[in-house]
Amino acid sequence: MKKVLITGAAGFLGSHLCDRFIKEGYKVIGMDNFITGDKKNIAHLSNNPNFDFIDHDVSEYVKFDGELDYILHFASPASPIDYLKIPIQTLKVGSLGTHNLLGLAKAKRARMLIASTSEVYGDPLVHPQTEDYYGNVNTIGPRGVYDEAKRFQESITMAYHRFHGVETRIVRIFNTYGPRMRLNDGRVIPAFMGQALRGEDLTIFGDGSQTRSFCYVDDQVEGIYRLLLSDYVEPVNIGNPHEISIKDFAEEIIKLTGTTQKVIYQDLPVNDPMQRQPDITLAKKLLGWEPKVDRAEGMKITYDYFKSLTEEELYKSEHKDFSGFINK
Ligand code: NAD
Ligand code: UDP
């Protein structure tokens, strides 16, 4: 039985990856320190004999006895609100955490895949974004802690590959959504859906002309799975190219949820990218992959998930007022 270590296992993507690898017949070891994750996301795996869990901060030395075939490094705060609130931890998990895990991959002769991001392109001047675009990132801006940690993560991963011969894979993930996102993590989909469910107005940052392209989690996991098993070392974009402005997206959410609330406009966060759309030509060619779930279908599943949360979860005040963080 092949063994895979998944960091960030109690988070949104990490928990879905745990499910996928268990379904494929792997032994899965999840690792997380719950800084932005939730035990609930992996509670259903607690009695599964093919799942083990280690509560550990991967920015500290990672000790693991026994063999490993694969490491998937998904630990990192991933929402702008989270990484603005915990900037040092964000820098550390992308840099020290990645270094520790690459060391472990080298020692175990395991193949390691890192979760990079469309944020390495910053506020992109090339559209749609192709993997050969170097990006436009403000190193010292509030988002720099995340973007630069991820850029460093890609560099150290390639260095371990070139210098130590570690087998590595790099996925550049574009905005992905689905069940198990944290309702109050500040990202636009849980934010709008939470507002609709609480009967609040939907907060659009800026004039809403900025665009994003949203990928449903099952499509993302499929792309990651195929990339891991491929022999391609350089970064690959995985995302859904169907682009929409945030203003139009708010209208879609209003229709979907049937809320009678309106949209209200707030300041655009500093360095908020104005456009984002993955060019997935490479993923199509290399992996025979493209997204299958359209936004209407994915949003409905996601909304059904948020509707199933308890009143207590719906009204948890964490991050409800984050205007203070966002423009510092
Ligand atoms: P998430 O916040 O739901 O999950 C991240 C998990 O990592 C959490 O469970 C958190 O507790 C854990 N973690 C953070 N620091 C840790 C540390 N030092 N040690 C151990 N565990 C730690 O976020 P997500 O959306 O699931 O993102 C997962 C990964 O995918 C991140 O690396 C993120 O940068 C990347 N990514 C996600 C998206 C997206 O749209 N969801 C887009 C681009 C990149
Ligand atoms: N956004 C918004 N209202 C919100 C939350 C986010 O208008 O309540 C905007 C945000 O400014 C950005 C887009 O939605 O332009 C996507 O934000 P998210 O935090 O989901 O992801 P990212 O900026 O990392 O792509």
Q: How many domains does the chain have?
A: 1
Q: What is the pTM of this model?
A: 0.97
pLDDT at 319: 47
Q: Is 328 within a domain?
A: no
Q: Is 217 within a domain?
A: yes
278 lines ligand 2 (CB under 6 A): no
CA nearest ligand 2 atom 1, residue: 188
Tell how far the Cα of 26 is from the centroid of ligand 2, in angstroms. Answer: 35
- C-alpha distances (whole Å) from 179 to each of 211, 291, 303 are 22, 17, 8
Helices (H), the chain: 12-23, 80-85, 87-92, 98-108, 144-164, 188-198, 217-229, 246-257, 281-287, 295-307, 311-315, 323-326
Q: Is 64 within a domain?
A: yes
pLDDT at 316: 81
CA distance 296 to 111: 36
CA distance 319 to 322: 5
| Segment 123-132, tens digit of pLDDT | 999 999 999 9
**DSSP secondary structure of 231-284:** ---S-EEES---EEEHHHHHHHHHHHHT----EEEEPPPTT--S---B--HHHH
CA distance 58 to 103: 12
Tell how far the Cα of 215 is from the centroid of ligand 2, in angstroms. Answer: 14
Q: Are strands 168-173 and 236-238 parallel, antiparallel or unpaired?
A: parallel
Q: Is 327 within a domain?
A: no
For a mutational test of ligand 1's pocket, the pick from 7, 12, 237, i.e. the residue with the most ligand atoms closer than 8 A to its C-beta, is 12
Q: Is 89 within a domain?
A: yes
Question: Is 146 marked active-site?
Answer: yes
Read off the tokens for 161: 């590959």
For the chain, count helices (H), then strands (E).
12, 13
Nearest ligand 1 atom to alpha carbon 173: 43
Residue 295 lies in domain: 3-318
Ligand whose nearest atom lies closest to the CA of 179:
1
Q: Is 219 within a domain?
A: yes
Q: What CATH number did the domain enclosing 219 receive?
A: 3.40.50.720
Ligand whose nearest atom lies closest to the CA of 172:
1
Read off the tokens for 99: 């270094």
Query: Taking the chain (328 residues) in consecutive chunks of 10 residues, what is each chunk's mean pLDDT?
Result: 98 98 98 97 98 98 97 97 94 98 98 98 97 97 96 98 98 98 95 96 98 98 99 98 98 97 96 97 98 98 97 74 45
Count how many Cα atoms sit within 13 Å of the Cα of residue 229 in the half-sphere of its side chain.
Answer: 11
CA distance 105 to 167: 8
Q: Is 39 within a domain?
A: yes
pLDDT at 325: 45
Tell how far the Cα of 153 is from the centroid of ligand 1, in angstroms. Answer: 14
Q: Is 323 within a domain?
A: no
Nearest ligand 2 atom to alpha carbon 175: 25
CA distance 302 to 33: 25
